[in-house]
Every structure is written in structure tokens, then in C-alpha cells.
Amino acid sequence: MSHLEKCFSKHRVPTVAVSDYVKMVSEQIGPYVPGPYYALGTDGFGRSDTRENLRHFFEVDRYYIVLTVIWALAIDGKLDMKVAEDVIKKYNIDKEKPSPITV
């Protein structure tokens, strides 16, 4: 059993891993974390003038992290999906925004 499995096995909760590097960095530990696992990362470069804009473009800023956590809890049945919809509205997240990896 890996160290991560030991640390995370007491509670089955969604885990969100975030990196300023490519999503693959965050995905590397996914197989060792029990329960639902979500990885966020910046799959690309040169898209923004500041780190803040880069994080927003690649959907790894604080708003997308909050949305991912809420979404994961809703999928897991711990929250109503309406809470995720409220987060989308509150933080003005564009649901029609194309995936950053395809732009």
C-alpha cells in the first residue's frame, strides 16, 4: 500500500490535484489515491501575460478549483448539483468556453 493510500484511505472523499504545469503531473498520483480523483493543469503555454490570466485560461484558478470540488461532491452525492450551478453563476464561469487544450 502506497503512502498516499494510507493517508487517504480513512475517508472516501473526492480529491482534487492542481498544478501550474501540465495536467499529466497531477494525474501521476491518481492511481494511488482512493476515491474519486480530479486533476487540473495548464496543458499549454504562452497564452497569457500573467500567471493569474494563465490560470484562468487553463481553468486552474481559484474559481475552477472551487467548482471542481463542489462538482465532485455533487457527483459523489454529498451536495445537491444546484450548488455547482450556483458556483457557476456566482463566479461567472462560461459553460460554453471551449476546452483550453483545443484552442
DSSP letter string over 33-46? S-S-EEEE-----S
Segment 10-38, tens digit of pLDDT = 888 899 999 888 888 889 999 988 889 99
Which domains are assigned to the chain? 3-102 (3.40.50.920)
The pLDDT tens digits of the residues spanning 92-102 come to 999 998 888 77
Check residue 45 and give its pLDDT. Answer: 63
